[in-house]
Structure 1
Amino acid sequence: MLLRFLTLCGWWLAWLGLPASAQTLGPGSHELSLMHGGQQREFLVHVPASYRAETSVPLVLALHGGGGSMQIMARDRLYGLVSQSEASGWIVVFPNGFSRLPGGRLATWNAGICCGAARDRGSDDVGFLRAVVADVQRRLNVDPKRVFATGMSNGGMMSYRLACEASDVFRAIASVAGTDGTANCTPERPVSVFHIHARDDDR
């Protein structure tokens, strides 16, 4: 009877979109998803070969540019983040932006003044990325004092929004060709910023 009850509870939690217990992850790349804002959102997690569950490690969220996808951001020949994860021993997560298209194609982030469907539909991307960090923390031994975000273009803009609205989670951001697009940036605590921008990129 107890086994049947626990099984029914697991089915009920799955139906609600809640994890009965988060599955731990080992070294390698994993494609995961969670429900947020009534939509299934996806993200890739890469755990380096050096990872050991007894040792807490840094976590880096890598946000793709507007019209991109988590798969594009995870391509090592383009961004090299998987190789850096292996070399330095940190976990890298590639979330997918807001998209209504099959496979999450042409995704964007609601970074405030930009961009696309994510902004137009008011996608709660800050909430989604908070949920991603929390999900990964349940599965892996993440050092809460070393959670970072980086992004390209629209993803860089989204990293600024995280610095402004989720400073309790993120200690530093690194933005490439993406500026702060929020109307009012009032972080609860200081967040370190590393910014890379070319003169011919007006955003």
Structure 2
Amino acid sequence: MNRTIIIVGVLLLLVVIAYFYFAYALVPNEPQLSAKIEQATIQVNNQTRSYLYYIPKKLSPKPALIIALHGTGMNADKMRQWTAYEFDQLADQKGFAVIYPNGYKGNWNDCRSDAPFPAKKENIDDVGFIRSLIENFSKDYGIDPGKVYVFGFSNGGQMALRLAMEVPNLVAAVSAVSANLQTPATCSCVLEGQTSRVMLVAGTKDPINPYNGGEVTLFGLKKIGTVVSAQDPRKVWLNGMVPQLSL
């Protein structure tokens, strides 16, 4: 009984911390754009998945596509806000398309075998979701298949790394922010062949994703596997795991 109370108390504390962490971050004013943000849904394995997307008024011929993946507990709207709407503004300047997918119950089925989130536990086909979005936008807007890039923050960054490892033919490059590579012992993904090109962005004082590697914890309370140091992921992963990790 006491153990149950403690577990419930910890979960409630996590919810409170996450609420203040995400709800009270500074939100910039939405800028003037050449077009409006659109909402849409798509069916993936009998599930209705939702997303936001932005197509600038002047879309380039055979344009690039940027897919921005939010972190745990966030959504597509929050991702636009947290990136200060800069992807949309760059899309106006450079003529590319942007998609902001919504994760399943606020999270993604990434490569962390210890992840406690619904998308992982229910084995949601997030790779299939991203693949379907790319295929649809290639058909509808003439996206250049060689210019598909994924940007992800935290859990979204981990999902971006999964795409880089499992479907490198689908994604030219990924940028993972606050999401180091998992150690082989806590990685559930297939690690064979050449990856997409990868850029890791890590903070030396990140309280969740340790810059020097080690245990990932949710605000110091919930352990979520272990990661490789942001300084040298290549050395660890090239030892029989990923033949050609492209950094």
1:73 has 2:75 as partner:
no
8 Å CA contact 2:109–2:159 kept in 1: the answer is yes
Gaps of 5+ in 2: 1-33, 210-247
Q: 1:41 aligns with which of 49, 54, 63?
A: 49
Q: Which region of structure 1 is more displaced relative to structure 2, 26-35 or 60-69?
A: 26-35
Corresponding letter in the other structure for 2:172: R
| Percentage of matched positions with identical amino acids | 25
Once the two structures are superposed, what CA deviation does each residue of 1:51-86 show, in whole Å capped at 9, x if it has no partner?
Answer: 15xx10100100001110011112376352211211
Check the 8 A contact 1:27/1:49 in 2, yes or no. yes
Distance 2:82 2:57 in 1: 16
- What is the SS of the residue equivalent to 1:143? coil
- Give 2:54's aligned amino acid: H
Distance 1:76 1:176, change over 3 A: closer
| 8 Å contact kept, 1:154–1:178 | yes
Tell me the C-alpha RMSD between the 2 structures. 2.0
How many residues were matched structurally? 169
Measure the CA separation in 2 of the matches of 1:127 and 1:46: 21
Alignment of 1:112 onto 2:118: no
Say if 1:77 and 1:198 are closer, same or farther in 2 by CA, change over 3 A.
closer
Shift of 1:148: 0.7
- Matching residue of 1:8: none
Distance in 2, Cα, partners of 1:173 & 1:81: 15
Deviation at 1:112, TM superposition (A): 2.0
Residue type at the aligned position of 1:183: S
Aligned to 1:104: none
1: CA distance, partners of 2:152 / 2:102: 12
Distance apart, 1:186 and its partner CA: 2.9
Unaligned 5+ residue runs, structure 1? Answer: 1-25, 100-106
Q: Distance in 1 between matches of 2:103 and 2:132?
A: 13
Among candidates 97, 100, 105, match of residue 94 of structure 1: 100
**AA of the residue aligned to 1:197:** A
Q: Which residue, 187, 202, 206 being the options, matches 1:197? A: 202
Task: Give the Cα–Cα distance (whole angstroms) in 2 for the partners of residues 59 and 165 of structure 1.
Answer: 19
Change (3 A) 1:184 1:116: closer
Instruction: Check the 8 A contact 1:60/1:93 in 2, yes or no.
Output: yes
Once the two structures are superposed, residues 80-121 of structure 1 have per-residue CA deviations (whole angstroms, 9 ceiling, x without a partner) of: 22112112221110000002xxxxxxx100112135111111
- 1:30 alignment partner, one of 38, 44, 52: 38
Q: What is the letter of the counterpart of residue 75 of structure 2?
A: S
CA shift in 2, pair 1:89/1:188, >3 Å: farther
| 8 Å contact from structure 2 (residues 41, 49) kept in 1 | yes
The letter for the 2-side match of 1:81 is F
Match of 1:12 in 2: none
Cα 1:77–1:36, aligned 2, differ >3 Å: closer, same or farther? closer
Would the aligned equivalents of 1:76 and 1:82 in 2 still touch at CA under 8 Å? no
Indicate the structure whose relative CO is greater, using CA pairs within 8 Å and at least 6 residues apart. 1
Report if the CA contact (8 A) 2:111-2:189 is conserved.
no
Compare CA radii of gyration and give the structure with the larger one. 2
Which amino acid in 2 is paired with 1:91? A
1:96 counterpart letter in structure 2: N
* Distance change >3 Å, CA 28–CA 198, structure 1 → 2: same
Cα distance in 2 for partners of 1:56, 1:154 equals 30
Q: What CA distance in whole angstroms lies between the structure 2 residues aligned with 1:152 and 1:190?
A: 19
